[in-house]
Structure 1
Amino acid sequence: MSDNAVRIEEVNTENWYDCCLLEISKEQRNYIEPNSISIAQSKFETTLKPYAIYFEDKVVGFLMFNAVKEELDGYWIYRIMIDKHFQGKGIGKAATKLMLLEIAKLPDANKVVVGYHPENKGAHHLYASLGFIDNGNRFGKEMAVIKNLTE
């Protein structure tokens, strides 16, 4: 798969419903909210930026990050998911790289943080492969890993 086949586009009137129809595997359901909840959340918490993930011309995933800094003095990734039929193809990694480029455009973007359940092996593998480091930060049931953008 070519990274060029993957693109992200802000959620809009053309793609929001497709994002809501995406499905995760049964094993992942304990780790992530439905995309419809995330899209609704972004309408009330307007600093949250939801994006559709496209593979070629098809919506195959969803991601969302906060455009203001939060805990650990970083910009937080709130969601990233790939439809169960498109997982394991490198789409999530390519989309996360594109998201990091968007976050890097924000003011004083030095750190990106993401929290996930320690048993979510897919998330752990993805973020470790992109250089996120576990410094032992914990928020409730989630671990938070950090990527420094200035290194």
Structure 2
Amino acid sequence: MKNSNVKIVELNADNWYTCCELKLSEKQTEYLEPNVISIAQSKFEPTLRPYAIYFGEIVVGFLMFNSVKEELDGYWVYRIMVDKVFQGKGIGKAATTLMIAEMTKLANIQKIVVGYHPENKEAHNLYSSLGFVDQGDRFGKEMAVIKYVND
């Protein structure tokens, strides 16, 4: 499967419902809320940027990040998920790389932060492979890892 076929598209009238129908593996449902919650949240918090993840012309995932600084003086990733049928194919990593590129367009960005449950080994492997580092920051049950972005 070629990761060059992966793209991210801002959530719109043509893809939002499909994003709501995407499914996580049973194990992952304990780590992430349903996409519909994130999509609703984006309608009430206008700084959130939701995107559909496409493989070719098929919607296979969802991601969302904040376009303003938050805790740890960083820009936070709120959600990255790939439908259970399409997991393990490098789509999540390709989409996260595209998201990072999109986030680096934000003014004065120096840090990208993402939180996840320490037991979520898939998330840990993904973020560490992309240069996120654990500096011991914790928010409730989640750990926060940071990627430093060069200006």
Query: TM-score, structure 1 length as denominator?
Result: 0.98
Question: What are the equivalent positions in structure 2 for 1:62-141 lying under 5 Å apart?
Answer: 62-141=62-141
Q: Deviations over 1:50-107 (max 9, x none)?
A: 0000001100000000000101111000000000000000000000000001100001
Structural RMSD (CA): 0.8
Q: Percent identity?
A: 68
Structure 1 Cα separation of the partners of residues 2 and 97 of structure 2: 13
* 1:6-62 per-position Cα deviation (integer Å, ceiling 9, x unaligned): 000000000000000100000000100100010000000010000000001100000
Which residue number corresponds to residue 34 of structure 2?
34
Instruction: Please list every run of 5 or more consecutive structure 1 residues that lacks an aligned counterpart in the other structure.
Output: none
Q: Which runs of 4+ in 1 moved over 3 A?
A: none
Alpha-carbon separation, structure 2, partners of 1:34 and 1:91: 19
Partner of 2:19: 19
Structure 2 residue aligned with 1:2 = 2
Shift of 1:4: 1.5
Residue 149 of structure 1 pairs with residue 149 of structure 2: yes
Partner of 1:50: 50
- Cα deviation, residue 2, structure 1: 2.3
Taking the aligned partners of 1:83 and 1:103, their CA distance within structure 2 comes to: 23
**How many residue pairs end up in the alignment?**
151
Q: State the TM-score, normalizing by the size of structure 2.
A: 0.98
